[in-house]
Structure 1
Amino acid sequence: MPKKAKPAGTGQQEGPVPCKQPKVEAAGGPFTLNFDSPGGFFESLISPIKTETFFKEFWEQKPLLIQREDPALATYYQTLFRLSDLKGLCGRGLYYGRDVNVCRCVHGKKKVLNKDGKVHFLQLRKDFDQKRATIQFHQPQRFKAGDLLYFPRGTIHQADTPPGLAHSTHLTISTYQSSSWGDFLLDSISGLVFDAAEEDVEFRAGIPRQLLLQVETTADARRRLSGFLRTLADRLEGSHKLLSSDMKKDFAMNRLPPFHVGDGAALSTPGGQLPRLDSIVRLRHKDHIVLTVMPDQGGSDETQGKMVYIYHSLQNRRDTHMMGNEETEAHGLRFPLSHVDALKQIWNSSAISVKDLKLATDEEKESLALSLWTECLLQVV
């Protein structure tokens, strides 16, 4: 199969859509970034917009601008501000009282240790280290990641530094690349043709002699191709099966491993009880697993049959993600097509008994569970 080329942007986009600037209510207190989980971080990043609202009203539809200039939100990005940042800021002209307060608690009362005039970082650090003082930095969003702007796929944009500033930082997060309907169609069409050619002799008939030597395709050839495409569309509407080619595999290969606190090796080391025939099991990290039916990647063209493939991102390396040295091999398992119903049972169940899997023998049932457990994709509950 030819390797898909990534389509280049044409620059021809729909007219601009006004950004929505949400009203931020201060009564609920300041928002903070949440690093406890990917979902929690995303929710805090777009707050006060709700996740459901974002995907319903803005995702792939129109831009969203969230401005955090309200003083009530001054601590929103406090997790991104460090003492070391003050060194550079002091050189830009900070003043005691207006920008910084140095204070400490003495006998239950606040004592201000401010000097006069400009703040010098060495003095600030001395008070911090020797006097154990607290440094209160007012409105850090004046100098740090103040706004969040989302715009849909294909929006042409340019980052610009506001007048009067030597520099500014723009953090661009790209997502959902190579996930358009066009990409999905390119990925799916080969599977449709594979099935049709197996069952319909017309798809296996030879093309007209010398067709490939002609500069322009003949009218008869275009009619035949149009008829084949209509046949494929009819087959697709009447079937629940759709062979995937590369898209699911690429998704698993290029995805970050699951969010995990602690030793990352735990994601690639089986844990818990060994599954047996009478065990109740369920999938682990389901959001990081894809299941697909594909032509056998190891078979010859003449004997190529279908196999069930499971790909996952558990063993992907976080430290090299999108660093120019992407994974060259996908992590996962391959099973005979006879295992597809049993795998769907596991996939669609919150928990299931190994002995209830739709396989011919108990040995096959236990072997399937053990294979998934060894790959850290299954746990006994």
Structure 2
Amino acid sequence: MPKKGGKHAEMGKETQAQCKRAKLEAACSPSVLSFENPDSLFGSLISPIKEEVFFKEYWEQKPLLIQSNDPLVAAYCLSLFQLSDLKELCSQGLCYGRDVNICRCVNGKKVLNKEGKVNYMQLKKDFDQKKATIQFHQPQRFKEELWKIQEKLECSFGSLVGSNVYITAQGSQGLPPHYDDVEVFILQLEGEKHWRLHKPRVPLAREYDVESEDRIGNPTHEFLLKPGDLLYFPRGTIHQADTPLGTSHSTHVTISTYQNNSWGDFLLDAIPGLVFDTAKGDVALRTSIPRQLLMVGFEVTKTG
């Protein structure tokens, strides 16, 4: 006669242990974004703001700060990229310029980097001693979760989506005040970062440019980003960020989209093709322009 609780009891204990391990793993790797479809991913990224509210009130209009006090969100963000990842990544043959930039804003100027392959010990020395910011290009090449996020966002926006990770030592600033030609989403991963946003001088700018401190005026927004927080601002928004003293370092990922994706860019692409195709079936468009027409136009421009 089998002993009380024999084989079935052992199987029950094993199942309970497996359940505990599964719960522990889930807690260590929380899934806080919905990957069901592109729209659900974007919706979960900007939650609790509704998608229709975001595009009506914020998109291309003004910044949005979403602060999270959820430890699961903070843990998820930490899993996307952190300072400790650099040692292993540097062993994969990273190069300055292509994969990594070293920069620090000194007296309003950006001090840049070395050449050739990235040596982790030298990189860490520049970070620790020179307080340089490490700019890591397109981290989704090495981080599957970031790749999954960007893949869904590209489908949601119908536009290319890129990313950079910025790791900044305490008491330093990596880049001078500047504006970008992309829509920007900042996700804070480690530590805290102090942000200042300034009114655009070129609304919805089509190119990147640096601004001097004496031209940008007082910030329109100023705040600290903490792990799990999300910041959005439109292209053209002048911005600068630094890691405060007392924080060992700050890591954030910048996710960007809508570069060269305006109506002007669309027409520049569409109209030449339209004219070319129309000229195939319309002989009037294939006749020559009047002699010296371009020369007359040049003289008008030159004298005007």
TM-score greater than 0.5 by the shorter chain: no
Higher normalized helix content (fraction of residues): 2
Query: Of the two, which has the highest radius of gyration?
Result: 1
Higher strand share goes to which structure? 2
Under a length normalisation based on structure 1, what TM-score does the superposition of the two structures give? Answer: 0.30
| RCO comparison, higher one (Cα < 8 Å, 6+) | 2
